[in-house]
Every structure is written in C-alpha cells, then in structure tokens.
Structure 1
C-alpha cells in the first residue's frame, strides 16, 4: 500500500513550504516581467502584445480621462438658513467632503507616508522591491505584512479600477496605470486624490465615510486639519482594513482595541522614519483616544426632515430650470419624476452650498407651537383600499389630525417657515393638495369681479335658492342651509355665503375667472366648473399655493411665485442658480386693496372673528374655509408684511367636528411668530392703498 504523508507530517510541511517558496518566486517573477516590459522603451512591441493582453479590458486613458476620475468627486451638499446658519448635510449613503493636502493636519500626511509609501516622493508609481516582498509575504501567509502597493497604486485601485480583487490581471492593470498616471500628474495631485478616495467604514450614524475629511468628522468630530497626532495615526492605520479598525464597527470594543494597536504600529513607523520626535510619540500614546471619539447625533433629517426633503426637491427643480427644463411641462409629458430623480441625485452628490429663505427661529417657533395646539385625539378611520372593482374596507388605526402651515413674505414670495405635519411622511404644507373650500372665494370670485369693475363692496346680491348651470337640477346651498336675501358683496364674503359667490363667479365667467388663478400657477382641471367658486375643484391646492395667492392681495395685486431656494453654489464656488423675482400683476392695486378691506370684515364680524378676538394690535385680513363634507378646514390670513396659511384635516377623509381648529391654530401660530420676531410685522402698521399715504 502506497504511503502518503499526512498534511501535518514534517515531510508534508517541508513539501508545502517548498511549494510556497516556488510559488512566491513565480509570482514575483510575474510582476518583474510586467515591470521590465512596461518600463522598457525598446519593448514597445512586446508591451503592446503581452501587457495589452493582461489589460485588454482596461481602456488606455488620456489625461482628460484621468482628470475626470481624479477630480470628479461626488460630495455631499449642504443646506443653510437665510442667515447663513447650517441646516444640515443632505442625505446620502456616503459622507464625503473634498480637501487638499494643505487643508489637513501635517501629522496625517506624515502618517500616510511613513505607513503606506515611504518612497512616495522618489518612485515613479511602483516600488519593485516592496512589490516583490509583499508578493512573497502573501504566498507564504506571513503573519507580518508590509504592503506592496504605493499610494499611487492605491489611488488607481480606488478611483480608476474600483476593483478590490486579488487577481494577477487586476494587479497588472494597476501597475500599468500607476506608471502612466505618474507621468501625467504631480505628486501633489496624486496625494490629493488619495486623501479623498480612501474608504473608512461607517460613522456612528451609519453613513459610509469616504475621504479623510469625512473620516475625521465621523470618527473624532473634528476637521481633518485639526487632527492631533494620535487621531491622525489612527486614521492612517485604518486604510488597509477599515472595518477591522473602525471603532464603531463592533459593540464590544474589539475593533477599537485593534485600531489602537494598529495606531501604535503607525506611530512606530513615524518615529523610525523621523517624522515625529520621541516626545511626540510618547504624548500620542498617552492620549485618551476613546474619550475623543465622535458621539452619535441626530442628523438634519431627524430634526428638519420636512425641510431637507423640500430642499432636495426644490433645489433639483432649480437645476432643471438652469438646464432649460420646465417642471410644469415635464409633468404634462409624463417625464417629471424620472427627471426629478436624476436631478435629485445631482443635488445630493454635487457638493452644493444651498442657501434657503427659511428662518431658523421662525421654523423652530412654528414647530414648537404645533405641539401646543389642541388637535382632536387620534382616530380610527375606515377606508377603502385596493384596485378599483376589488376594493375592501380596512381600518387605519390611531390616525393623527394633521396640519399644514406656511409663512410667506408678501413682498418677495419667500417661504420663511412652514409646518409639514405631525409624525407623517407627507408634507401637508408644500406637497399635499386639498380642496380649498371657501378660501378660494377672494381669489377666484370677488377679486376678479372687483378687478373687472363688475361689483363694488356695496353691490347688492340676492342670497336665494340657486340651481346649477349644468342642467343636473342640483341646487346650491349655504353652509347653514338658509338664505339671507339681499346682501352686499362685503357682507356675503364676511359671512362666506355660497350663493352670492357663485353669482359673482357667473358675472366674471369661467374662463376669465380661472385666468386669474392661472397667472398665479394654480393647477386646475379643464372640466372644473362653477362649483369651483365655492371650493369644489378636481385637484385642490397646496397650503403654500393658497397662501401665496393671498400674499398677492397684500402686495398690491402683484403675485410672486413662492420659493425656498435663494441660491445654489457649486463645489468650486461658482453660483449656478440664484432666484430672480418675476412679479406678475394679477389684480389691480385698487382691486387688491378693496378685496383686502372686505377680508378685514371677515376678521371683525365674519367667520374669522375668533382671530380678531385673539389677535390685537395688528391689521389682519383673511378667510376661513370648510369643504362640503367638512374633511378640510382652513384659515388663510395676512398682514401688510406676511401671509400665513393653515390647513387641518386627516390623511384619509374624515369629518372634522370642530371646524374652528384651523382658526385656533392660525391665531396660536401668529401670536407665537410675532413674539418670536416682533420686527417681522410691527404693530400698528396698516394696509394702504397704492398711492395713498
């Protein structure tokens, strides 16, 4: 019987060791041949044949191609309040901010050179000796590895190849490209690329860290320029095994322990290569690294989720306009959402500085005030779900009564603050159209009629039974199911009577009436008819759009498109977008003032008198609104400087038994806003007809 050595026998170990030595020799010889052929000027034909066969899937890159790869970094964008305060960083799986070697701690550069590539400033892309040594260590399964890739090779692997495999072909391509890169770029360019392309695992909030600035902020909550020696050495030590040395990777502290041991190796090499003194070395080892680690903290998406989502969307639309695209036309063509996703990604990864019109103080005030408003208790709502023809009833449990509110500067259309909702993903202020109820009457009925000279505030209109003009035999009714007889236009609007509003709409005519809304960007259905005069529309409107319409009345009839993005600056400091006001004269100044004066009566003795009772010292005009089934309740009011719109309802249709909740919420918000910023609307300032002092 033939005897074979067992795997653990001395003979087998001797044979295995000999094989590994031979394999290591062949592996080293393989790379030696590549280097010789690549570096040899006279071997062009051989290189074209042999080396090209190894890199056949890798195109030969021009300098322009390299530059695009080395400098076309994606980085996170940031959003700012109107006073320059940071709102937060826009979301993304990756956290990256681009820096140069001059913008990081000198200790970090020294640590990288000492640990990763001591001959960085002398070699031409590769170090043959180091490469052969690493190859032998790999095949011999050595417990001590020194690494054979230069910083240049690592840049190639991270940015050009984006391939972490250990095949001969990949290594051959890496060497070939590294040598080519060194001929085209300075050491400074390559080092900068290295600083921004290295991966460091996830930060305590779970976001991937790309580049040293993200690592410094994510691991130690400091900028890369402020890293001390111990912190710099720790980060430099993470390069080869980011998860194994990431202090947040393991809950038991094992990766922090491993990272500190690796940090000591880095410090040893820095001392050995005279990058630091013995005193600096000792101080770094004594530094309490664990105490300096970053702590998990709420992101802007936790505190300002509605804001950050809105910034993404509106910044994307701003960039669409820069590129000559019209979001409204894209909607009609069915291309809006596909285009939006493309531009949203650009916003998230473009490294933009996005300035908004939002006021932090007012935003926080409105959010805090929401918690003080007495909304109805959570309700169970029975709704039908499922495809048409196969729907079934389900109960949505514990549904919160929702609110949407917007505060707009009447002179500019700037969105100063808003409330998106209560523990819901839907932004009820900016993105959620609802039926406007009687809040539409000043914009669609009375405003146009006054503008066209068809009525005055004292025009008599008979409040009586009125049949619909569509021949259906339907009869319009007032909310109280009663008729008041002859009333003035002023009285009819103050008491929100439906019949006079429809009669005024008929005077204006559907096409002319809707043309006023069209000038202000309101979207409506072609089949919307006279029921729209009292709020019966197909689509409904957002709180922001309705508030902007009322702001036009306060602004002498001039409408400004509501906006939140003031300016967008790209990563190079170039302004790529800046909001420009394009006011549209919708109502004549006289008609706007007269409508406002009529809406003052709503506050004094009409459906909004609750506001007048609670708000003293301010000149306020406004209008309440309730939809037919009382699913939605509104109040939109304005002063000479700001317009505030409030909607209250549920995500699913449910009758609101307290139809005053929107007015109560409006009064509570307005008082809190004025206490927070008294200069926003000085007491005693009054609406003035244009040209009248």
Structure 2
C-alpha cells in the first residue's frame, strides 16, 4: 500500500477512535455531574452551563410541545364543496380519522403497560428521569467497543427525544440536552402522565391501510384492529417490542419482518416473566398465540392512501420541504452533505403529526378524469427484467400556465409500484429539450430567427466518436430554423447550440429550474442529458413559452395552516421573465407547426378547435417517448417508457395516444381551463432578420448543388452512344432561385421521408439513452 494512503488510513482510524472515546467520556462525566446535582435539584445555572443554547423551559413550554404532537394533519383538494370549502382528501399517515388519543394508562391493556416498563425502563417508577448506571454502562460499552451494547435511555428520555428536541443530530450537545430535559420533565410531571404521553408519541411503522402509526391506540387499530385496552398479552408484547426498530419489526413488511418481530416479542415476554409481571402459564400461552392470524385486514373505504396515495405522498414531501426552507435549511447543501433524506423524513413526521392542514392545487374532477382515461385504448407489451415482468409506464402532468399549479398528474399507467412517474422519475428528454436549450435561448440572444438557414449535413461529434444523424439517416441541406424544429432535425440543433455557446444554453436551463448535470456537453442539445428531468419540471419549463416568457415553478401545495387555522405558508407566484414575449410567441408559432405539419401531427389530427403548440421527444432506440403541448391556459406534459429502458419502437404512439386521452378528459372535466376561443396573442415587435447561421458553408453547398445540376443538364443534352442505354437522371432535390434576407438564394426543401404522404408524427429523435 502507498505510504501516504497508509498514513491517511491510520490517521482516519485514529480520528474515529478519538471521537468515540471523547463521546463516551463526555457522556460519562456529564452523567456524573448531573447525578451529583440531581440530589439538590437541577437549577437554571446548571442547565445554562451544560447546554447554553437550550432555553430554560417551564411546564408551559413542555406542555406546548407535548400537546402539539398528537394532532392529525389533513390534505385538501383545490376543488370546493357546496359550501365553498375545499374538499378534504383525507388524513395524513398518522392513523387517520380512526386515531384516538389515550387519556391515561387506564385506556390501554395492563399487559401493554407492563410490557413497556419491562423492556424499556424497568426502574421507571423509581428514577428521576435518568438511570445513571444505564447511561454509564452504555458509555462504557461504547468506550470499550463492546460486542454487546444496550441502550441507556429511559422512557422519559425517549419522550424528550421524540417530542421536545427539535434537532436530530446524534451529537454530544443533543445528548446533554436530552439528559437535562428528562430530569426537568420528571420533576414537573407525574410518572403516569409521562407514561401516557410516551405511549401516545411512539412510532410503529405502517398499518394495514399503509398509514404511519403514531401512538399505541393507532398501533392497536392499525396492526390488530382492536382498541388499545383490548390487546392481549402476545399483541401487547409485540407492540412494545416494535419501539426499538419499528420498520424492521412491522408485520406488514413481509415474512422476515414478522419473524424478527416475533423473536423480539419473545424477548419482551422473557423480561415480563423475569420481572414477575406475568405467570409462566400466561407466558406459554402467549408464545403459542398466532400473531399473523390476528393482524388487521386492509379497509380501503375512506382511506386517503388507498384512493389518492400518490397525491398524499407528494404533498407530504413538498410540505416537508416548505417547512425545511422556513427553518432556514438549504436543500441543495443538505443533498451535498448526504443529509437530505434523513432531514426530509424528520420533517415529514412533523407534517404528519402536528395538526397541519395542507391545501393542494389538485383539481379533483380533472385528476379523477385523466387517471381514468389516460390508458384507454393503449396497447401494452410485457418485458422481463431480472425475472420480473413489466409493462410500459406513463407519467403526465396537467399544469396551469399562469401559476405553475399542478392541477392533476398521472403517476403510472398500471397503478402498480411506488414510483411516481410524473413527479419523481428522471428520464432523458430527447428532442423535447431543443426549444428550451437551443432555439428559445438562441432567438433570445439574437443568434437565429425563425427563418434563419442552417445547413443540415454530415456533422462530426465533438468527442470524435462519429457523426450525428437524423432519424431517417438523411441530410436535407439548407433548412430554416422553423423547418429544423418542425421536423426535429438533429444537426441544425447541434450547430446552433455550438454557435450560441453551451454555457448560454445551460444558463437558460438553470433559469427554467432544470439545470444541466456537470457531465452534460454538446449532445445535451438533442436530448443526451446525463441524468434527465421529471415530467413536472420539464412541463413547467415549456409552460414558460405559453406564459409570455414568464417561468413559474411547479407546485402542489397552495397553502398550509396550523391546527388553529393560522396560515404558516401560502404560495406566492414569483414569476421569472426568462424569455421576452417576442421570443416566446415566435417559439409558439414554430411549435404550432410541429402539431399541424411536423412530428406532432398525430396530436393535431385528433384535437380539433384548440390553439395547440407542442414538441415531441424520443431518445435513442426509442427508450423514452415524450409530448409536451400547450394551449394559452394549460400545458400538459407526458412521458412513456419502461422503467428499465426497453425500446418503445414497437409502440411508438403510446405517449401521444395517452396525451390525447388526457387532453380530452381534462377538457371535458374542467372546461373553464379549455376555451376553444383562446388564442396565443402576438406581442408585436417580432423580428426575423437573420439570414443564415453558417453562411459560407451554405454558399459552398449551393454552389456544389448548382454545379451538379449543370453537369446533369449537359449529360441529358448529349445523345447516347450507339448500343448504350441512356443515362438515368440522379435524384437530387432541385434548387430554385429565391431570396432570403441578405440576398441568399432560397432552396426548395426536399420532400418528407419516403413512403409517406405527409411528415411522420414521430420523426424526431435524441441519440442517447437514459443513464
């Protein structure tokens, strides 16, 4: 091994050892200090000295925290009821409406109380909040790196950790706070009160209906469908045993979880027998009880997670991120530090259990209609990945152009699996990215205008790995920007991107909240992104053109209130002017031709009377298929593909058919958003005065074409030699004189790809598969 690496490895190991020793010694001496002072009471001076940043809490402060935990949180549609109130989607994952707090330990089975005391804190009724010997034992085990470690936290300490402390880092300061607050809490509350709060606060994982269970009443109903007071000995021991690792012991997590949970249950029963809380006969009977048979059965009625699970999970995360930002947390920085997911989960717990009311942007009629209609008439094919069959998936978003509000989304085509393909699946955009990274920015920067000519020709890749190609493996000579985008030619997009400068295009993506990956390069112009984007993000970016160049971030949360009805968050549209109204309208005009003449003609031939502008997108080998289309009021983005990158070539119109289904269903469900009279309006001041991008190359091309044409004419004029057949004319597109700005001749465009009467609606392609 390299000497430098060896030294660094030893240094790292020494650092870890030092931290463990320091932590253990710190806790050791902290416990000694607290033990000494506990005999005469913990005063404000001791608290301030040990945890200077922690406020001196009185009983009112404690009570506020203890009360706040136990209130259910609810989610609402944007849609109003007959009284003008938002329709409730349902309760968040905290036990739902069936949750009922226990008021005292008498509300639960005596077995459950004895089980908790036996396994978690046998000296609960004797200590003053902490057990010094337990803390010292745990510290010693950590200091000596013992193979067998035991927890040192009492029930009181666990209550402080679950409810009182707001910082979740496992550091020295937090542990010191926990110890001090446990002693103060014990001095202010009766033991039975502390035990009741504790049993109401403990988390037990997901129940039969997939709600997250907080508190023993929720656990009893969610796991065994009985009230907490009616739990038998085996059920009580199982619930008490789950506290240590609720997700691993949760019986609805599979047979392995259930087996782990039963082993833990036996440990609890052993402790109860050891502490003389049960008899040997009760112990034996409990061990033979069939826990699996007694588990609760799912009840999908009035269950928001059964009916609208994708909405509820999406609102959980977005509301949690909102609260994180209000607390001054930087999400990007947390991601870099690897702390984002853990922090998000802690804030999700807050959303679920603090009595919040989360008002969404989801329009119930649109959501129900598009999810019922999206997959109608679609053809599905099975593919196998690692022995598991899968079918084509669909992700779609219906968005309000003016606000960025997500009115509805389609998370999946088969309603199976946990992945939300509309909001959480990152897929490469293919050619759908061209307006956002190339042509919109290039027009805004004055690099091109709609009629600017670009030479579509054989063009090498920057990395020297070959040449870029169009979908039909043809090159079309000088084509206008409008033509290039209408038929989604690749080479003109690459050339414009290079001419404009990659960073210019990337800067526009950043403004549109779809930033490039650090590994993205030239191929990003035609959809070769390293990571890709979610459907909601790319839909919001497209909606910018339909909103006169003003960008709105996509969102599902419109407002959050606390349990008392006080507004703690309200979305305020902060529109960002990314493109000028002139650039946006010129892009809309081109994207109209995509739908009426180009790669999106399938859409235009099936949606009548609406002013629609849109763009298709297909990645290499047809692994991803996109269509994003806008009316003046609404933008709908749709993606189709397999989760594991199988080709969609056999089902090339899957996404377009789904888009048509979604559009028609949404228009029927909420006609106020779909006005056939609405038209994109020109802002005036439009410019189209840039003749060509690569003028010299076009001149050379035209000269060569003219020379070939003249040679062909000469051949035709020469009579054939006796005994020889006449020469056949070469099939080249004719060049006719014409004028473009700057006086350059305008070529006639070659016909669409062969064997088609009009342009294919699936002509576009990106060249790079999803990573």
TM-score of the superposition, structure 1-length normalised? Answer: 0.65
| Equivalences for residues 627-646 of structure 1 within 5 A | 627-646=619-638
Q: Counterparts of 2:381 and 2:212 in 1: how far apart (Å)?
A: 41
| Equivalences for residues 454-469 of structure 1 within 5 A | 454-469=447-462
Query: 2:467 matched to 1:475?
Result: yes
Q: Which residue of 1 aligns with 2:764?
A: none
Cα deviation, residue 356, structure 1:
0.8
CA deviation vs aligned residue, 1:310-355 (integer Å, no higher than 9, x gap): 1111111111111111222322332211211221222222221111
Query: 2:497 matched to 1:505?
Result: yes
Query: 2:488 matched to 1:496?
Result: yes
Which residue among 494, 512, 516 is the counterpart of 1:520? 512
CA deviation vs aligned residue, 1:245-266 (integer Å, no higher than 9, x gap): 99xx9xxxxxxxxxxxxxxxxx
Contact 1:350-1:571 within 8 A present in 2 as well: yes
Q: Which residue of 2 aligns with 1:74?
A: 70
Contact 2:632-2:678 within 8 A present in 1 as well: yes
Q: Counterparts of 1:627 and 1:434 in 2: how far apart (Å)?
A: 10
Q: Which residue of 2 aligns with 1:313?
A: 317
Query: 2:448 matched to 1:444?
Result: no
Q: Which residue of 1 aligns with 2:659?
A: 666
Q: Which residue of 1 aligns with 2:392?
A: 401
Q: Which residue of 1 aligns with 2:353?
A: 349
| Change over 3 Å in CA distance of 1:652–1:196 after alignment to 2 | closer
| Change over 3 Å in CA distance of 1:653–1:70 after alignment to 2 | closer
Q: Counterparts of 2:307 and 2:383 in 1: how far apart (Å)?
A: 26
| Change over 3 Å in CA distance of 1:317–1:373 after alignment to 2 | farther
Contact 1:618-1:683 within 8 A present in 2 as well: yes
| Change over 3 Å in CA distance of 1:183–1:337 after alignment to 2 | closer
Q: Which residue of 2 aligns with 1:575?
A: 567
Q: Counterparts of 2:301 and 2:532 in 1: how far apart (Å)?
A: 39
CA deviation vs aligned residue, 1:626-653 (integer Å, no higher than 9, x gap): 1012110111101000100010000111
Q: Which residue of 2 aligns with 1:611?
A: 603
Cα deviation, residue 70, structure 1:
4.8
Cα deviation, residue 61, structure 1:
9.9
Q: Counterparts of 1:410 and 1:61 in 2: how far apart (Å)?
A: 49
> RMSD value over aligned CA atoms?
4.4
The alignment partner of 1:88 has SS state of: strand
Q: Which residue of 2 aligns with 1:413?
A: 404
| Equivalences for residues 223-372 of structure 1 within 5 A | 240-243=229-232, 297=301, 299-372=303-376
Return 5+ residue gaps in structure 1 as ranges.
1-47, 50-59, 101-111, 117-148, 222-234, 250-293, 382-394
Q: Counterparts of 1:165 and 1:217 in 2: how far apart (Å)?
A: 22
Contact 1:603-1:622 within 8 A present in 2 as well: yes
Q: Counterparts of 1:379 and 1:599 in 2: how far apart (Å)?
A: 34
Cα deviation, residue 301, structure 1:
1.8
| Equivalences for residues 379-398 of structure 1 within 5 A | 379-381=383-385, 395-398=386-389
| Change over 3 Å in CA distance of 1:62–1:241 after alignment to 2 | farther
CA deviation vs aligned residue, 1:236-291 (integer Å, no higher than 9, x gap): xx675445999xx9xxxxxxxxxxxxxxxxxxxxxxxxxxxxxxxxxxxxxxxxxx
Q: Counterparts of 1:416 and 1:340 in 2: how far apart (Å)?
A: 24
| Equivalences for residues 34-49 of structure 1 within 5 A | none
Q: Which residue of 2 aligns with 1:600?
A: 592
| Change over 3 Å in CA distance of 1:211–1:630 after alignment to 2 | closer
Q: Counterparts of 2:57 and 2:330 in 1: how far apart (Å)?
A: 37
Q: Counterparts of 1:412 and 1:529 in 2: how far apart (Å)?
A: 32
Contact 2:93-2:212 within 8 A present in 1 as well: no
Cα deviation, residue 566, structure 1:
1.1
Cα deviation, residue 74, structure 1:
3.0
Contact 1:380-1:396 within 8 A present in 2 as well: yes
Q: Counterparts of 1:167 and 1:527 in 2: how far apart (Å)?
A: 54
Q: Counterparts of 1:441 and 1:297 in 2: how far apart (Å)?
A: 46
Which residue among 640, 645, 649 is the counterpart of 2:641? 649
| Change over 3 Å in CA distance of 1:240–1:450 after alignment to 2 | closer
Q: Which residue of 1 aligns with 2:30?
A: none
Q: Which residue of 2 aligns with 1:20?
A: none
| Change over 3 Å in CA distance of 1:322–1:529 after alignment to 2 | same
Contact 2:101-2:200 within 8 A present in 1 as well: no
Q: Counterparts of 2:505 and 2:556 in 1: how far apart (Å)?
A: 28
Contact 1:433-1:542 within 8 A present in 2 as well: yes
The alignment partner of 1:361 has SS state of: helix
| Change over 3 Å in CA distance of 1:181–1:644 after alignment to 2 | closer
Contact 2:629-2:637 within 8 A present in 1 as well: yes
CA deviation vs aligned residue, 1:19-65 (integer Å, no higher than 9, x gap): xxxxxxxxxxxxxxxxxxxxxxxxxxxxx89xxxxxxxxxx995247
Q: Which residue of 2 aligns with 1:689?
A: 682
Contact 1:98-1:196 within 8 A present in 2 as well: no
Q: Counterparts of 1:194 and 1:548 in 2: how far apart (Å)?
A: 45
TM-score of the superposition, structure 2-length normalised? Answer: 0.58
| Change over 3 Å in CA distance of 1:680–1:165 after alignment to 2 | same
